[in-house]
Amino acid sequence: MLIPTDIPIRPDFFGQSAEQFDALVKGWGWPRFRGVQVREWAYQKFVADPERMTNLAKRDRTFLHEHLSFATATLAQNQLSEDGTRKLLLTWAGGAQAETVMIPDGERRTACVSSQVGCPVGCKFCASGINGVKGNLTAGQIVEQVYQLNVLLQQGGDAVGRITNVVFMGMGEPLANYANVMAAVRIMHDPGCFNIGGRRITISTVGVPPKMRELAREGLPINLAISLHAPNESLRKQLIPWAEHFALPEILDAARFYFDQTGREITLEYILLAGVNDQSEHAEQLVKVCRTLRANVNLIRYNEVAGLPFGRPESGDVVRFQEILREGGINAHVRKSRGRDIDAACGQLRRKGEESSSAIVTLGTGK
């Protein structure tokens, strides 16, 4: 049963662009600068409680509280890794849950955000899609993930103090929730909101060619990443059930179109699974794929998921895989593993919460 995550009782503040919010403020008969004040509280000071917006009159604060929803998620879990990675599990009314991760790296603070409750893709090695997809997150729920991380960064006295980059690499297939994802991207990019540069935003997809082409026409300089994970069609179909919908040549053709339209080089994400897709012959096949388009490769050592039959590759196999790519003229990097001590792999925290809830329900019914 799908969770109805897209029917807010009141308009969601974080689901509106600066222009949309200004129009709402005008409709209330308020001066335009009042809308600017509210946005400054939420997007610059990370305050989403109208009662704390002290430069607004008491009646205006009460009005906002009654007519808008601000940051409605409950922080169900908050985990901090030894390497500084932080992972949150957010819960909204109706039961929708999503994970979001903050990854610190030098002067960067990257938010890895979710776009759906669960995932329809069903990658065999991933925890996100084990129970399928239960609904789409709204634009406001996606933007709120960044807000919640900003609040914690500020409270913790972080040196940077705010999210600088956003990657849509959390739960869900972003291009399967295209309208809400693009609305969220424009709000994050909006100078009157989070003002995150387009080149600091990345959308990662398993490959939906029609939507990849639509994204190319949006006029935004955002980065496109393709979750490839296999260098040939047969292995890809074994690992990614979604591959039955779109053939690899179609995806690569859409990727070339994206580069032609935007000038932005494609990133190929490749999770290395021990003994499955991490051997020399796989690297040699991947070189051939990469030569058909302007792309770089991010190699990712698998984070194990309890109950799934996949292992983390040996360091030597990872090094050799990268060497073969580089010898073939491909720009390949091994992404640093982060948050392994807090189940930072996509979907693990939510899955544990669901298992705990199921156990509680079972005990309560006496089954």
Query: Catalytic site residues?
Result: 99, 346
Structure token pair of residue 292: 């058909």
Q: How many Cβ atoms from other residues are within 10 Å of residue 20's Cβ?
A: 15
CB-based contacts of 28, cutoff 8 Å, min separation 6: 63, 67
Do residues 204 and 198 make contact, with C-beta atoms less than 8 angstroms apart?
Answer: no
In whole angstroms, give the CA distance from residue 111 to residue 169.
9
Query: Coil, strand or helix: which one is 168?
Result: strand
Q: Are 353 and 97 in contact (CB under 8 A)?
A: yes
Strands lying side by side in the sheet with 295-301? 74-80, 86-91, 97-105, 108-112, 165-168, 201-205, 223-227, 266-272, 295-301, 332-335
Q: Strand pairing of 97-105 and 86-91?
A: antiparallel
User: Three-state DSSP class for 196?
Assistant: coil
Name the residue with tokens 């509210």: 38
E strand map for 95-150: 97-105, 108-112, 116-118, 133-136
Helix (H, G, I), strand (E, B), or coil: what is residue 53? Answer: coil
Instruction: Give the amino acid at 290.
Output: C
Cα–Cα distance for residue pair 287/268, rounded to 1 Å: 11
Question: Could you tell me the CA-to-CA distances from 205 to 36, 188, 219, 231, 233 in Å, in that order?
Answer: 34, 19, 18, 16, 17
